[in-house]
Amino acid sequence: MKPMVLLSHPLPSEWIASLEGQVHLIVGPDERPGWAPNLLEALPAAEGLICLLTARVDEALLDRAPRLRVVSNMAVGVDNIDVAACTRRGIPVGNTPGVLTDATADLTLGLLLAVARWLPQSAQDARAGRWTTWSPTGWLGADLRGATLGIIGLGKIGMAVAERARGFGLRVVYWQPRPKENKVGATYVSFEELLAASDFVSLHCPLNDSTRGLIGETALRAMKPTAILINVARGPVVQTEALVRALSQGWIAAAALDVTDPEPLPSDHPLYSLPNCLITPHIGSATYGTRRRMAEMACENLLAGLEGRPLPHCVNPQVYEG
C-alpha cells in the first residue's frame, strides 16, 4: 500500500511529478487558507503532509494524525508549524531554504526603489493625466548612493539584499542577536544604532518569540522621520497598529510591505488608504523557477521522510538524535 499524503492546496502537476506512483495523494480543493474538510477527514490515515504557509500544523491537528511520519512545508519560514510539537512526536519538519533567496532579495530592492522613487504614485499620476509638464520639483524621491540600509537578520536573504545594495552605493549595517562573519560588507551595529542611522530598514528575520512585534512604537519612533521600512519577512514582526500611526503621523516617511498582519490584509484596512504605504500580496518568492523549485524541494523532503531517510532540509534535526 502506498503511504497516504495530504497536500494542503493544489499545485501544478509538473511541480510535484516526483510523487507520482509513490504516494496516495489527497489534495485540498482550492487555495483558501487552512485544511479543507476532505483533508481533515483523511488525517487519521495520513503518513505525510505537504503544506503551504497558509495551512497551520498545530498540536490539535497532530493529535488527529497519529500515523504521521513527516511534515514538509513549501516555504523556508515554518512559523505556520508547531515545530516543537512535531519534535516531541519524532516527526521531522522540512522546509525550502536557499532556492528563494534571489527572488526575495530582488523583490526587496524592487520595493525599496518603488517607494524611494514614488513609482506607483508617479505611474498612476501619468495615467490619470497629471503629467502636464516636466516638473523640476515633482515626484522627488530619496537618493540611494551614500544612504544607509539597515538589515535586520543577516541570513541568506539578508546577505543577498546586502550584496545587491552595495551595487547601488548603499552603506549596509545589520543587526541580529549575534554578529557573524560576512563577505557582503555589512557592519554589525546594535538594534538602537541601526534604527537611528538607517535611511532604509529592511526586515529579513524569521518570525519567532523574540521577533514577534519587534518593530512597534518604540522602534518606529527611534527611526529617522525620513526612513523607509521594508518588510519581506513575516507580517507580525511589525505591530500593524503602530505602523499605521507611524505612517500617518510622520514618525517615518514610508513603508513597503510584502507581508502583513493580518494576512491577507482586508481590502478596507487603513494601511491601504495611506499614500506612503506600498503593499504587495506576499510575492517575495513568486517567480516561475523559484516556486517550482520550492515545490520540488518539498516533495524531496517528503519522500525522504516517508522512506526513513534524513530530510535534505530539516528544521528539527534533533529528531534523528538518540
Nearer to ligand DGY, 95 or 148 (CB): 95
> Please, what is the minimum distance in Å from the beta carbon of residue 291 to ligand DGY?
8
Nearer to ligand DGY, 78 or 144 (CB): 78
> Please, what is the minimum distance in Å from the beta carbon of residue 152 to ligand DGY?
16
Rg (CA), the chain: 21
> Please, what is the minimum distance in Å from the beta carbon of residue 205 to ligand DGY?
12
Those residues whose C-beta lies under 8 Å from the C-beta of residue 121, and which sit 6 or more positions away, are: 139, 275
Residue whose cell numbers read 523532503: 301
282 is catalytic: yes
Q: Coil, strand, or helix at residue 256? A: strand
Residues making contact with ligand DGY (CB under 6 A): 53, 75-77, 100, 284-285
Q: Coil, strand, or helix at residue 5? A: strand
Peptide bond into 275 cis (omega under 30): no
Rounded (10°) CA dihedral 53, 317, 15, 29: -40
Q: How far is 238 from 115, CA to CA, in rounded Å?
A: 18
* Structural element, H or E, at residue 138: none
Single out the catalytic residue among 234, 291, 293, 313.
Answer: 234
How many residues belong to the chain? 322
CA angle 89, 94, 95 (to 5 degrees): 140
> Please, what is the minimum distance in Å from the beta carbon of residue 112 to ligand DGY?
18
In order of 163, 228, 238, 272, 274, the CA distances from 246 in angstroms are: 29, 11, 11, 14, 11
Q: How far is 77 from 320, CA to CA, in rounded Å?
A: 21
Nearer to ligand DGY, 52 or 252 (CB): 52
263 is catalytic: yes
> Please, what is the minimum distance in Å from the beta carbon of residue 100 to ligand DGY?
5
Single out the catalytic residue among 282, 291, 293, 313.
Answer: 282
Rounded (10°) CA dihedral 71, 75, 77, 83: 0
Strand partners, 256: 230, 278
> Please, what is the minimum distance in Å from the beta carbon of residue 95 to ligand DGY?
7
Q: How far is 19 from 17, CA to CA, in rounded Å?
A: 5
Q: How far is 47 from 273, CA to CA, in rounded Å?
A: 46
Those residues whose C-beta lies under 8 Å from the C-beta of residue 188, and which sit 6 or more positions away, are: 173, 174, 175, 179
Q: How many C-beta atoms surround the C-beta of residue 262 within 10 A?
A: 10
307 is catalytic: no
Single out the catalytic residue among 24, 263, 292, 300.
Answer: 263
Nearer to ligand DGY, 276 or 287 (CB): 287
> Please, what is the minimum distance in Å from the beta carbon of residue 232 to ligand DGY?
8
Nearer to ligand DGY, 101 or 240 (CB): 101
Nearer to ligand DGY, 28 or 77 (CB): 77
Nearer to ligand DGY, 54 or 240 (CB): 54
Catalytically active residues, by annotation:
234, 263, 282
